[in-house]
Amino acid sequence: MEKFEINILGCGSAVPTMRHGTSAQLVNIHEKLFLVDCGEGTQTQIWKSGIRVTNMNHIFISHAHGDHFFGLVPFVSSLTLMLSRTDDLHLWVPFDLEEPLRHDFQHYCQLSFKLIIHPFDTSRKTLLYEDKEMKVETIPLSHGIPCCGFLFCEKPKLPVLLPDKCRAYGIPQRELGKIKNGAGWMMEDGTVIPNSELTTPSDFMPRRYAYCSDTAYNPQMIPQIEGVNLLYHEATFISADEMLAVKYAHSTAAQAATIARDANVEKLAIGHYSLRYNDEKPLLAEAKTIFPNTEACQEGMTISL
């Protein structure tokens, strides 16, 4: 099966520490790389990981808090300094980040490639990227400032040709591409053979990954992420500190697990841990009581779908 994996570069909150970097992930879908958030030190984590980012053409930033984008300008600059990049790079940011970033790139970077900035509205579901194999759309979140997550979706495969049927109806080889793309076939006497008789549905099950960055408990997201193979959901606090979660528009581990349970997802990965905790065991234990198939993210972890 073609690759669909999530590489965790940073899963802490607020500031980088000796234990955790700030938010950043590399999503690999069919060897196309997408960087999701870019906290301080992200480029160091990428170089340490050994992942080649020559095939990374899109970066998605969830919101304008520094622990999600302070690594962006130095990383993009390094793509020129270290890799001599020439391919266009697409940067997708909330509207309120567009002008500050344009200023910084203009004043502090001399790039060897074209940087294309795409501002978007975080308050509504928006299709940001699409190709023949997959698409990326925003997930509106609740965090006090414009903020969203991102939903990565594979597309269904084309139907499988039934070669014996195609031969039986005398369909020329040159027409098989049209049949595979949904066309029927007209016989010489005008009879139309429907596509359903010439093909069979692919048994490929498209996979989906939902990245839900900083957010208060937000059940409104559930219909959009229903049944995803993997949900990354911030779990900044334990329930004993729920008042802090409310104050700062974050979630507890129990709330993240409740979203996962109610959305009937396959697996939950939690992250964005508060600095107040020395380890993630209490957060993980709390989430598992509600949604057993939960994993606590760590830097260097790769999760395959």
Q: Which helix (H) or strand (E) holds 126?
A: none
pLDDT tens string 114-163: 999 999 999 999 999 999 999 999 999 999 999 999 999 999 988 888 88
Whether residue 58 contacts residue 79, with contact meaning beta carbons closer than 8 Å, is answered with no
Q: Is the pTM of this model over 0.85?
A: yes
H/E/C letters for each residue in 40-91?
CCHHHHHHHHCCCCCCEEEEECCECCHHHCCCHHHHHHHHHHCCCCCCCEEE
Average pLDDT over residues 54-80: 96
Cα separation, 72 vs 192, in Å, equals 56
* Band of residue 206 on the pLDDT scale cut at 50, 70, 90: very high
What are the structural domains, with CATH classification, of the chain? 4-157+207-304 (3.60.15.10), 160-200 (no CATH)
Half-sphere exposure at residue 101, Cβ-oriented, CA atoms within 13 angstroms = 28
Nearest by Cα to 108 from 85, 133, 81, 84? 81
DSSP state letter for 175: G
Catalytic residue, chosen from 37, 67, 164, 279, is 67
pLDDT at 83: 85
Whether residue 9 contacts residue 36, with contact meaning beta carbons closer than 8 Å, is answered with no
Half-sphere exposure at residue 11, Cβ-oriented, CA atoms within 13 angstroms = 24
Q: Which two tokens stand for residue 45?
A: 């984590």
pLDDT at 64: 97
Long-range CB pairs of 77-80 (<8 Å, 24+ gap) are: 77/108, 77/109, 77/111, 78/43, 79/53, 79/111, 79/112, 79/113, 80/109, 80/110, 80/111, 80/112, 80/113
**Helices first, then strands: H and E counts in the chain:** 10, 18
Catalytic: 67? yes
pLDDT at 216: 98
Long-range CB pairs of 170-178 (<8 Å, 24+ gap) are: 171/198
Average pLDDT over residues 249-254: 98
Task: Give the CA-trace dihedral at 198, 206, 293, 13, to 10 degrees.
Answer: 180
Question: How many Cβ atoms are within 10 Å of 112's Cβ, its own excluded?
Answer: 12
pLDDT at 222: 98
Whether residue 22 contacts residue 41, with contact meaning beta carbons closer than 8 Å, is answered with yes
- Residue whose structure tokens are 């359903």: 196
pLDDT at 108: 93
pLDDT tens string 14-31: 999 999 999 999 999 999
| DSSP-assigned states of every residue in 203-264 | -----EEEEE-S-S--GGGHHHHTT-SEEEEE--B-GGGHHHHHHHT--BHHHHHHHHHHTT
